[in-house]
Structures are given as structure tokens and as C-alpha cells.
Chain A
Amino acid sequence: MTEFVAPEIDWLALAPLIVVLGAGVVGVLIEAFVPEKVRRTTQIVLALAALAGAFAFIAVLWPQIVVQPVQVVGGSLTLTPFALGAQGIIAVLAFLGVLVVADRTTTGQDAFAPAASAVPGTPYEDLARRSGLEQTEIYPLLLFAVGGMMLFASTDDLIVMFIALEVLSLPLYVLCATARRRRLLSQEAAAKYFLLGAFASALFIFGVALIYGFAGTVRLLEIAQRVQQGLPLEGMSVLLVSGVLLVVVGLLFKVGAVPFHAWTPDVYTGAPTPITGFMAACTKVAAVAALVEVLYRISIGVGGVSPDIMRQLQIVIVVVAILTMVVGTVVGMVQTDVKRLLAYSSIAHAGFLLVGIAGFNAPVQSSTLFYLLAYGLATIGAFAVVTLVRERRITSGTGEDNGPVGEGEGVVLGEATEIAQWAGLGRKAPWLTAAFALFLLSMAGIPLTAGFIAKFGAFTGATTGGLWWLAVLGVLASVVAVAFYVRVLVVMVFQKAPDEPESTGTEAVEAGLSTGSTSEDAVPTSGGAVSAGAAATLTKVRVTSAQRIVVTVVRSRGPAAVAIAVCAIATVILGVFPSPVLGLVEQASKFVP
């Protein structure tokens, strides 16, 4: 006699996800029913409230999960302290990210195209711009992505993980295509991200299929058990190893590790800067968390039974970690564009994270969480600063050609992302520069910033795992990395801005021109149309002899400034008094996932 048993669902454990995804759905309805005037405000409030609410639920759950991890809906959602910690960090970083996204600055324009679906350069685009359209769908999209990330980081089921991967990725692809300026670059970035993402997803799901062929299940813990029970390992191990390898590759793609990193610089450059910040911080948290869960759960099973497979796994991570650190730091050194530089920095950080993870011991989970938090704060803060440094076109003819530029004169254009343009920023905006410097120092891992404690944890993880030589390599790479962060600092603080009174008008025009095009290695030529086509976008900087471009700092309307301040303060506090947070994340490694 079979009786229908209603599944028991721990709704509280699901609450953070429900709040975020539910708010996303409500956001879609808002698009349909709320009048245009208040739509944007409603969306922002809803998004922030949802993220804060999710964080509140996470905080409520924390004491309970730390004592006893729970599995909901048959493990589709598995909340360990580590997973919950990752969720919490995602919520915090996403909150800060939304603040940056929401800031329209004193120019009154946000970073998004008035009508992202309009073909660049068409009359329709012009019309949309002139009538002041706004794309408020970005907020629900952000929430869906956040929901996907939170689930991604906290599931035991490879199929659910795959779904979460798509849930987080698809909104991001769309968001990448919505930049207000340099629209073709933005759309190209989105297309690239989508194509390569699809490729990576395919590898991932193929890997899941192979693993299923080996173990007959897609649940990580059960796979580990099957391995331990000694299923016919002989001959079959190829299935397991290739499967895990492919799954790991799919995840490493999201992490941005070499050789699966090629999308990162292009996408980071093309996407609207607030989205880049959000994506760089939150996606990395989710992807690294998922990677840790897959690797560590598989390693429970494999570790004792087949040291060979275990070593293969470890070697994969070690090789990727080394490649990632080296390529990230070295290629980062020759970048001339701030966004690309930060992209390579993000790649290098993926390498440092992998150094810790390669140690395969439980405490690494704690230090990884701390690293992700420290990195995320610095990244969101740094990209937020980038959104405020703009180009301004001055149309002369007033006779005062090369004089100092007054506030509000001329037309504010897009971001000034050429590093050379940041010369003299220290004088124009000392506080902003100080904050940016702080973020760079934290990324460089200078003591008394959060980044130092984070790197220390990662390298300790490698040493405890017996990979001291990898830790030494990591230290060497981070010493080299200091060079490229300091280079930017030097430009900002010590070099004179080209548009300061001494320089001649022609120089300023040239400086402006060089930034109208994209940075040298970014020349986007897939399909061959873009370089030529870029000339047709509404955002192409046309500089005539009567005009010149100067670099200016626009004022935040508030939210972005708050985000920068919070990131900066948190970076210092985590660097100087890290003990409370370290104590919290330490509990994350209590249970091997």
C-alpha cells in the first residue's frame, strides 16, 4: 500500500532564494503595471529590499546551519555553513553592486542604453535617446542573476547546479549588451560571452552525463559514496575522471581561469561598468563556491580509494592555478585600459584563489570565503570609481581655448578608461583617488588591507596542503602584480593631467582621440564589422578642431558614493581588525560539504 507522502520542505532554508527570485518576478510585473514615473525608484527599492531581506534570512539561518547543515528537496539545496556564507557574501556584494548600478550621477544618465534593443546608429535609437527612455528591466535581471548565483553556490545536485548556472548566466549575457556608450562593443561582448558561455555549459553538462554514466547519480555526495564503495573502478575511472574534468572546466570558465579566461577582458571592457563590477565580484563568488563544493565533495570519495585520480584532480587545479596567476599578472602589466587592467587583475585573483583551493584541506574553505569577500569589496569599489571618471567634450570658440574647465561646461561623455587619462586625478578628486588607491592596494595584498589577510589565508592553505612551492610561486606572482597596481597609482597621483593649463590644445585633442577608439588589443573584429561600424554609433567621440576632450570627475548622486565608502571602510576594517569576520568564516569549514 503506497501512500502519498508530501515532501517536507524547510521553507526557512529556502527563504533567501525565494525572496530574491520572488522579487525578480515582482520586478517583471512592475515593468508592466507601475507608471513610468515611479517605475525606476520602485525597482531600485524593491531590489535593495530583496537583497537586504535575503541577507537578513541568511543571518537568521546562520546559527542553525552552523550546528547542523540541512538538505532541502532531496539535496537540491544543500545548506552548509560554507554555502550559506557564500550566499551571504553574494547578497552583500550584490547590494553594493545595485547601489552602483542605480547611480545616475549628476549628469542624470545611468550607464544603460535607453533602448538596448535598438540597432546602434539607427533613427530609432536617436528617438529613444531624445525621448529619455530608460531600461529599468535591468533590476529584475540583476535579481534573477543573484538568485542563480545563490543557488549555484549551494546545491549538491549537478543538474540543479547546471540550471543555476544558466539562471545566473542568461541575465548576465543580456545585461552585458546594454551599455549606453560604445554600444557595438557592448553587444559584441555579450555575444562573445554568450557563445563561449554556451560552449562551457555544454562541456559542463557533458561532464555531468559522463559522471552519471559512472555513478548512476548526479548527487555529489552519492557519487562520492559510489566511489568509496569501490564500484568497478578498473576501466570505468576514465568516465569519472573525464566527467569531473569537464565539469570543473565548465566552472573554471565562470571563475575566469586560464586557459578559459579569454572572454574576461573583452566582456569586462564591453559591459556597462556597474555591471562589470557586479559580475566580476558576484559571479566569481558563486563560481568559486561551486567549484570548491564539487572538488571537495568528489575528493572525499576519491581521496581514500584512488590516490591516482586524486592526484590528477590536484594537478589539474595546480596547473590551472599557475597558468592563471602568470597570465593574469604578466599580461595585466602591459594593459593601457583601466577596465582591462581590472579584468586581468580579476584573472590573477582567480589564480590566487586556486592556489588555496589546490591545497585540498578543509580550512581553505574559510579562507576562500574571506578572500572572495575581500576581493569582491575591492572590485565593486574600483569599478564604481571607474564609472565616475568621465570624458568631457568642450566646444571652444569662446576664445578661452586652453583655460581651465569650469564645472558643468561642455558635454559629459563616457568613461575615461585609458590609464593615461587618469593622470592628475589625485589633484582633481583626492578622495576618490584615495579610495581607488585603497582598492588597488588591497588587490595587491598590501598589509593592513583586507587583501593581505585574504592572500595570507590562500597561501597558508596551499602550504598546509603540502604545496609550499605553489605558495612560493603565488607570493612571487603577487609581488609582480604589485607592479601593475602601483603603475596606476603613480599615474593618478604623480603625473600631471594632459589638460592642465600647461599643455597645448592639440595635445589634449590627441589624448581625447586616442581614447575614442578602443584600446589596442581590444579591437573587436569578430565578424569584421565592428571597427568600421563603431564610427556609426551615437557614442563615437567625434573631435573636431574646435573641440577638445578633457577628463573630468562627475559627482555621484549618492548611491555609488555610499557603495565606494562602504567598500573602502570595509576593506580597511577587514585589514586591521579582521578577527570578527575571520571568526565567522572559520565556522564555514566545520563541515566538509
Chain B
Amino acid sequence: MNDVIGLAPWLIGIPLIGAAILLLGGKATDRWGHWLGVAASAASGVIGFILMFRMIGTPAEERSVDHHLWTWLSAGGLDVDLGLRLDPLSLVFVMLVTFVGTLIHVYSVAYMDHDPHRRRFFAYLNLFVAAMLTLVLADSYLLLFVGWEGVGLASYLLIGFWDTGRPSARENAVAAKKAFVMNRIGDMGLIAAMALLFAGTGALDFATTLSDDTLGSLSEGTATAIGLCLLLAACGKSAQFPLQAWLGDAMAGPTPVSALIHAATMVTAGVYLMVRSGPILEAAPTAQLVVVIVGAVTLLFGAVVGTAKDDIKKALAASTMSQIGYMMLAAGLGPAGYAFAIFHLLTHGFFKAGLFLGAGSVMHAMGDQTDMRRFGGLSRFLPITWITMGLGWLAILGIPPFSGFWSKDGIIEAAFIPVEGQPWRAWVFGTVAVLGAGITAFYMTRLFFMTFGGRRPRWTENQHPHEGSPLMWWPLVFLGVGSAALGLVLGVGGTFVTWLEPVVGHAEHHEPVLPVPVIITSTLVVVVLGALLAFRMYAMSLVPEEAPRGSFLTRAARRDLYQDAANETLVLKPAHGVARLLQVGDRDVVDRGWSLLPQVLSWFGAVFRKAQSGYVRSYAAGMAGGVLVIAVVAWLVVGLGGAQ
């Protein structure tokens, strides 16, 4: 391992240099800039592969290597060394980021073909890759924070990428700002966590802070506080309840961005943070429980919202939120859940990126239309997109043997494992996880069939859908194959779980409260029910004459129609109502709250601005008044303090 470790800094360096060349090179690089971007990402991927192969050949206990880069700060008893940590966990992320990242780079070459600022787009993408790799390769919370801010910046730049010259320009700028503000809230959590950690342990690097000795010396209260602050950070970055509102709006960015940053990689950084900080959470059971609750709430929240969205990208965004909720839930379950959290993160990275790129392909074919009510019947026109998205659909539903099954089922089983002293937990969280799977099946099937199903298209005028260039569909094929097979390859025999064991520790085997086959079967039943319900409502009911068999079923279908109407009033309307309420609450309460903050601040600013009158006499009076006020305050505080 040590002979190739010197390559590790280049993982970050190459895309960073790529971004620098593209940003500073100006128009001279317009012609070939996008290929430079692809090459930089791919080169990083190649280095990742080399490191991966070397690591596979290394004995398990030697797989975690810290590579010291330089001493950043050395002052007054504080030494901050910057270094990279290569271990099975960080390498999984390196592979995900560079592989999916490179595919999305390639896709973007075609997708952004007509954009005058394509070069800048690739510069930001490279910047993102570099920052994301910094985040996952950091060997201390401090360097992690650098990457954390870096991905935030790249995300902000890319969400607002179309903030000029488009009808939606203003909304895009607003969306970018919203993401920025909410991420700052999360960042404050990370800063606070670092401050507490430093106060408690005197260090910020993983090797020291996460060792048993150090954590043993922390009080449980401190550990809980640190854990909750870390959770706040994770909520901001990963769009978890209650900081989830920005993700839907972030879809204003170009679709490849949604696929790479807001589905596959950046938004999962919170899960990485939770798993990486696992030892701290384990020292703080309360914080762990909160993590699980946040995961469970977001899981349902995202899923319910997903059923009500008609915009294909927003539906997928809600789904991302919900799936990350699964990962958070798993990350809060301790060693039994970590491996599955990361496993699901990996498979989700593939199938969700594939679904987003597929959505991009559909939008590309339909003239940037995103409303699913204006799709329909596209399977014949976009066969490759249809098949690859179909694979992603089966994967996210968790149908065996597609990849989502292996990871999501692991999470559901882990959720059913009983916790000593709190028997309710296994039942509550297990049920939520199964229920979520059912709703997921419903909304994904709805999305899939509203887009591709039905013979009667609901297109707007003058649509001539066709597949994009091979640059667009080859990445789809790769991701589709990944969605189909990745779980099987890594899941059978627990390969992936064993791979992560050196980092997350060996999980003691506990029996879930229900037998495993029962869990699997009941999950599948719920999933199939959800999918069937959606299929009936969105694939069949629009065109009831096309019921596959006989007149009896036609009549049944007709009755189903009545039932649909009943469903509409009894189930769907309330569900939609709830969803709408959530949306409204989201928009009117949460959003307004966020936008109120700057307003209050600027009001305050305006008041002070009035005081800046320009009159010397009032300035001098202000100074004299200031002297008095300060004197009085000093007197009062000390006087009162003395009286006590």
C-alpha cells in the first residue's frame, strides 16, 4: 500500500488543476475545455482504481493508511497536520465519485452542448470532484470541513448556473441562495461540533478523536452534544428533516448536476459524516436515537412528498431525500447499520444517478419539459432511456436481484434488530422502513409509467422525441448495468460488509424481532402492492379500454374507475392534502422563516444606515453618548455582580 500512497494527493490535485485551468484559461479553452474536464475526472478515477487494487491485495488490518501532507498550523500547543486517510470507506467514496462523476462528465458534454458557458460548467464540475474527494479523504475534521465548504460552494455555483438569460433565471438564483443559506446552518453545526471536540479532546484528527482512549475520557453529555451538532451538519448537507427544503429547489440546476451532486454524491456526505463519526455516536446513545428518528421522519416525509410531485426532477429529489433517510436511519443503528448505510449509498449513487440522467434524457427529448403529465408513451421513442430507467426503477423498488434489494433489505433487517431496554424501537423503525418501501414503490412506479407508459401521449405541440447522442446514452447504459448488477456482485456472501469491517467494526450478530424470511417477504409484498396500486392508477386508468384481458376485466377496470374516484376522495385526496399541507407548510412556514432572517437583518442595517447621517455633530454626539453608555454598563454589571 505504501508504495502507491504518494498518488493519493493527485486524486484531488488533478481535478483541482483542471478546474483552475478552465477558470483562468478563459475563452482560449472553450474549444477543448470540456474534454479536459472529462480527462481530469477520469484520471482521478484511474488513480482510484490503482489504489483500490493495491488495497485489495493488502491484509485487512493494514488497509487504513494515514498519509501526512504537511503541518498546517503549529501554534501554542495546537498542532494541525493535514493528511489524507485511505481506508476501505474512503476508497468506496473515491470509486463512486470518480466513476459516476466521470460518466456524468461525459454525459454533460452532450447535454450542455448548446450552452455558451459549457467550459465554466466543467470547471465547476471538476471543482466539485476535487472538493468531494477532499471531504472523503480528509484525515481530520478540519480538512473534512474544507471539502465540506468546497462542495457547498460548487453546489451553489452549479444550482445557480442558469441564473442569467433564462426565463427561470430569478428562481434559479433564489434556489441557489436558499441552498446556500440552509447549508450555512448545517455548517454552523459542524463548526460547533469541531469546537466541542477540540475542547473535549484537544485534537481534530480522526486517529486521535475517534480512538477508544479519547472517547472514554469524554463525558456522555459532551459526546451527545457533539453528536447532535454533527447531525445538524449532516441534516443541512443531506437535506434531512428539518433542513430538507432546499433540495427540491436545487433541481433548478442543470440535470447532470442534480444527478452528480444532488443525488449520487454530495447529499450523501452527511451519511459519510455519521458513519465516519460512528464511535462518537456510539458513545452517545441519545444522539444515536435522534439520528434514527431524523432518518425515519425524512424517509416518510420524502416518500409522501414524492407521491404528489408532477415535476419529474422534483419527484426524484423527494425520492433522494427519502432514500438518504434510509441511510441515516441505518447510520444511527450502530455497527449493524453502518455497512448497509454505505452499501445503500453506493447502490443508490448508481441507480439514482441513472434515473436522473434518464430524466435528463427525457427532458432533452421533450424540449426541457419536466411535467410528467405532459409525457406518456415514451418507451417506444426512447428505448435506451426506457430500459435503463427501468433497471433503476426495479433497483430502487428493491426487487431481487437488482441492486437496491441487497442494500435496502439489509437496512430494513437492521432496523428490526431489538435494542436492549427499548423494545419499541425495533417495531417502530422496522415498520416505518417497510412502509417507506411501499410508498417508494408507489411513487416510483407512478413516475415510471406516467413517463413511459400508455399509448396515448399527453405531449405538448410539436414534440419529436428521440434519443440523444451516444455520449448521452452510454453513461445511461453503464449506470443501468450498475443498478442491475452491483448489489448482486457486492451483496452475495457479504463481500461489501466484510470490506468495510476494518473501518466500521464487526457487528455482533443479533436476531431481528421477526425471522428474516418473514421480513423479506412482507417487504416484497408491500412493495408489490404499492407498485400495483400505482400501476393501476397511472398506467391503466388513463386508458381503461386497453385492459389486457377480456370483458370481465374491462368491467372490473370500470369499477376500478369508480373505486379510483373513491380512492381519490378517501385516500388520495387526504394523502395529497397531507402532501400539499407539507408542501405548503414547507413553503409558507419554513421558507418564509428563512427569508425573514435576511429581512430582519437588512431592516436592522437600514436603521443603522439612518444613523449614518453625515453630520459631524451627530457623530460626535454618538461618541459622547457611547462613552456614557459604556461607562454606565461597566458600572452596572460590576455593581450588580458585586452585590451578589
B626 lies within 8 A of chain A by Cβ:
yes
A578→B73 contact, CB < 8 A: yes
Contact check: which of A199, A308, A316, A520 meets B642 at CB < 8 Å? A308
A59 lies within 8 A of chain B by Cβ:
no
Stretch at the interface among B205-213, B452-460, B606-614: B606-614
Given the known interface contacts A312-B638, A434-B24, A525-B615, the answer about A583 and B74 at a Cβ–Cβ threshold of 8 Å is yes
* Number of B positions contacting A (CB below 8 A): 60
A453 lies within 8 A of chain B by Cβ:
yes
A196→B75 contact, CB < 8 A: no
Q: For residue B146, which residues in chain A have a CB less than 8 angstroms away from its CB?
A: 447-448
Q: For residue A522, which residues in chain B have a CB less than 8 angstroms away from its CB?
A: 614
Residue of A nearest to B613 (CB): A525
Q: For residue B623, which residues in chain A have a CB less than 8 angstroms away from its CB?
A: 196, 199-200, 203, 249, 253, 259-260, 262
B71→A579 contact, CB < 8 A: yes
Could you tell me which residues of chain A, from 535 to 588, have a CB within 8 Å of some CB in chain B? 576-579, 582-583, 586
A246 lies within 8 A of chain B by Cβ:
yes
Given the known interface contacts A447-B145, A582-B74, the answer about A312 and B601 at a Cβ–Cβ threshold of 8 Å is no
Per-residue interface assignment for chain A, residues 443 to 454, with 1 indicating a CB less than 8 Å from any chain B CB and 0 otherwise: 000111000010
Could you tell me which residues of chain A, from 346 to 366, have a CB within 8 Å of some CB in chain B? 363, 366
Main secondary structure of the interface of B (DSSP, over half): helix
Q: For residue B598, which residues in chain A have a CB less than 8 angstroms away from its CB?
A: 333, 483
Q: For residue B145, which residues in chain A have a CB less than 8 angstroms away from its CB?
A: 447
Contact check: which of A331, A453, A525, A583 meets B609 at CB < 8 Å? A331
What's the Cα separation between A446 and B187 when bound, in Å? 12
Residue of A nearest to B20 (CB): A434
What's the Cα separation between A578 and B75 when bound, in Å? 10
A26 lies within 8 A of chain B by Cβ:
no
Q: For residue B608, which residues in chain A have a CB less than 8 angstroms away from its CB?
A: 327, 330-331
What's the Cα separation between A319 and B149 when bound, in Å? 31
B625 lies within 8 A of chain A by Cβ:
yes
A259→B622 contact, CB < 8 A: yes
- Measured CB to CB, the closest approach of chain B to A17, in angstroms, equals 30
Q: For residue A125, which residues in chain B have a CB less than 8 angstroms away from its CB?
A: none
Given the known interface contacts A196-B623, A494-B160, the answer about A523 and B71 at a Cβ–Cβ threshold of 8 Å is no
A245→B619 contact, CB < 8 A: no
Could you tell me which residues of chain A, from 31 to 53, have a CB within 8 Å of some CB in chain B? none
A195 lies within 8 A of chain B by Cβ:
yes
Contact check: which of B605, B618, B625 meets A331 at CB < 8 Å? B605
Q: For residue A586, which residues in chain B have a CB less than 8 angstroms away from its CB?
A: 75-76
Contact check: which of A195, A363, A434, A494 meets B620 at CB < 8 Å? A195
- Measured CB to CB, the closest approach of chain B to A491, in angstroms, equals 11
Per-residue interface assignment for chain A, residues 240 to 269, with 1 indicating a CB less than 8 Å from any chain B CB and 0 otherwise: 011001100100010000111011011000
B565 lies within 8 A of chain A by Cβ:
no
Q: For residue B631, which residues in chain A have a CB less than 8 angstroms away from its CB?
A: 242, 245
Given the known interface contacts A192-B619, A259-B623, A496-B164, the answer about A333 and B601 at a Cβ–Cβ threshold of 8 Å is yes
Residue of B nearest to A249 (CB): B627
A430 lies within 8 A of chain B by Cβ:
yes
Q: For residue B604, which residues in chain A have a CB less than 8 angstroms away from its CB?
A: 330
Stretch at the interface among A76-84, A213-221, A474-482: A474-482
Q: For residue A195, which residues in chain B have a CB less than 8 angstroms away from its CB?
A: 616, 620
What's the Cα separation between A313 and B634 when bound, in Å? 8
What's the Cα separation between A84 and B185 when bound, in Å? 41
B492 lies within 8 A of chain A by Cβ:
no
Per-residue interface assignment for chain A, residues 289 to 325, with 1 indicating a CB less than 8 Å from any chain B CB and 0 otherwise: 0000000000000000000100111011001100000
Q: For residue A192, which residues in chain B have a CB less than 8 angstroms away from its CB?
A: 616, 619
B605→A447 contact, CB < 8 A: no
B70 lies within 8 A of chain A by Cβ:
yes
Contact check: which of B26, B164, B610 meets A430 at CB < 8 Å? B26
What's the Cα separation between A309 and B26 when bound, in Å? 60
Residue of B nearest to A191 (CB): B616
B633→A319 contact, CB < 8 A: yes
B518 lies within 8 A of chain A by Cβ:
no
B188 lies within 8 A of chain A by Cβ:
yes
What's the Cα separation between A312 and B635 when bound, in Å? 7
* Number of A positions contacting B (CB below 8 A): 72
B641 lies within 8 A of chain A by Cβ:
yes
B495 lies within 8 A of chain A by Cβ:
no
- Measured CB to CB, the closest approach of chain B to A148, in angstroms, equals 22
Per-residue interface assignment for chain A, residues 379 to 391, with 1 indicating a CB less than 8 Å from any chain B CB and 0 otherwise: 0000000000000
What's the Cα separation between A70 and B473 when bound, in Å? 76
A507 lies within 8 A of chain B by Cβ:
no
Q: For residue B576, which residues in chain A have a CB less than 8 angstroms away from its CB?
A: none
B605→A446 contact, CB < 8 A: no
A260→B614 contact, CB < 8 A: no
A5 lies within 8 A of chain B by Cβ:
no
Residue of B nearest to A487 (CB): B177
A494→B163 contact, CB < 8 A: yes
A510 lies within 8 A of chain B by Cβ:
no
- Measured CB to CB, the closest approach of chain B to A36, in angstroms, equals 37
A447→B149 contact, CB < 8 A: yes
B629 lies within 8 A of chain A by Cβ:
yes
B188→A479 contact, CB < 8 A: yes
Residue of B nearest to A523 (CB): B614
Residue of B nearest to A575 (CB): B72
What's the Cα separation between A365 and B545 when bound, in Å? 84
A482→B73 contact, CB < 8 A: no
Q: For residue A265, which residues in chain B have a CB less than 8 angstroms away from its CB?
A: 612
- Measured CB to CB, the closest approach of chain B to A234, in angstroms, equals 14
B595 lies within 8 A of chain A by Cβ:
no
Q: For residue B637, which residues in chain A have a CB less than 8 angstroms away from its CB?
A: 311-312, 315
What's the Cα separation between A203 and B627 when bound, in Å? 10
B110 lies within 8 A of chain A by Cβ:
no
Given the known interface contacts A330-B608, A447-B145, A526-B616, the answer about A582 and B75 at a Cβ–Cβ threshold of 8 Å is yes
B620→A316 contact, CB < 8 A: no
- Measured CB to CB, the closest approach of chain B to A135, in angstroms, equals 25
B612→A521 contact, CB < 8 A: yes
User: Which one of B70, B146, B614 has the highest number of Cβ atoms from chain A below 10 Å of its Cβ?
Assistant: B614
A524 lies within 8 A of chain B by Cβ:
yes
A402 lies within 8 A of chain B by Cβ:
no
- Measured CB to CB, the closest approach of chain B to A82, in angstroms, equals 15
Given the known interface contacts A331-B605, A578-B72, A586-B75, the answer about A245 and B627 at a Cβ–Cβ threshold of 8 Å is yes
A225 lies within 8 A of chain B by Cβ:
no
A593 lies within 8 A of chain B by Cβ:
no
What's the Cα separation between A524 and B612 when bound, in Å? 10
Q: For residue B612, which residues in chain A have a CB less than 8 angstroms away from its CB?
A: 262, 265-266, 331, 521
Given the known interface contacts A434-B24, A578-B72, the answer about A330 and B605 at a Cβ–Cβ threshold of 8 Å is yes
A259→B626 contact, CB < 8 A: yes
Could you tell me which residues of chain A, from 180 to 228, have a CB within 8 Å of some CB in chain B? 191-192, 195-196, 199-200, 203
Given the known interface contacts A249-B627, A262-B612, the answer about A311 and B641 at a Cβ–Cβ threshold of 8 Å is yes
Interface residues of B (CB under 8 A from A): 23-24, 26, 70-76, 78, 142, 145-146, 149, 160, 163-165, 180, 184, 187-188, 191, 195, 199, 598, 601-602, 604-606, 608-620, 622-623, 625-627, 629-631, 633-635, 637-638, 641-642
List the 6 closest pairs (A to B, CB-CB), nearest first. Answer: A259-B626, A334-B605, A262-B619, A312-B634, A331-B608, A582-B75
Apart from the given pairs A367-B75, A521-B614, 16 other A-B contacts in the complex at a CB distance below 8 Å:
A196-B616, A196-B619, A258-B626, A259-B630, A319-B633, A330-B601, A363-B76, A431-B24, A448-B146, A486-B180, A494-B160, A496-B164, A520-B609, A577-B72, A579-B74, A582-B73
Interface residues of A (CB under 8 A from B): 191-192, 195-196, 199-200, 203, 241-242, 245-246, 249, 253, 258-260, 262-263, 265-266, 308, 311-313, 315-316, 319-320, 327, 330-334, 363, 366-367, 430-431, 434, 446-448, 453, 456-457, 460, 463, 475-476, 479-480, 482-483, 486, 494-496, 520-526, 576-579, 582-583, 586
What would be 24 A-B contacts, judged by CB atoms less than 8 Å apart? A195-B620, A196-B623, A203-B623, A245-B627, A249-B630, A259-B622, A259-B623, A260-B626, A266-B612, A266-B614, A308-B638, A311-B638, A311-B641, A312-B637, A320-B630, A331-B605, A333-B598, A333-B602, A334-B609, A447-B145, A476-B188, A521-B612, A579-B72, A579-B73
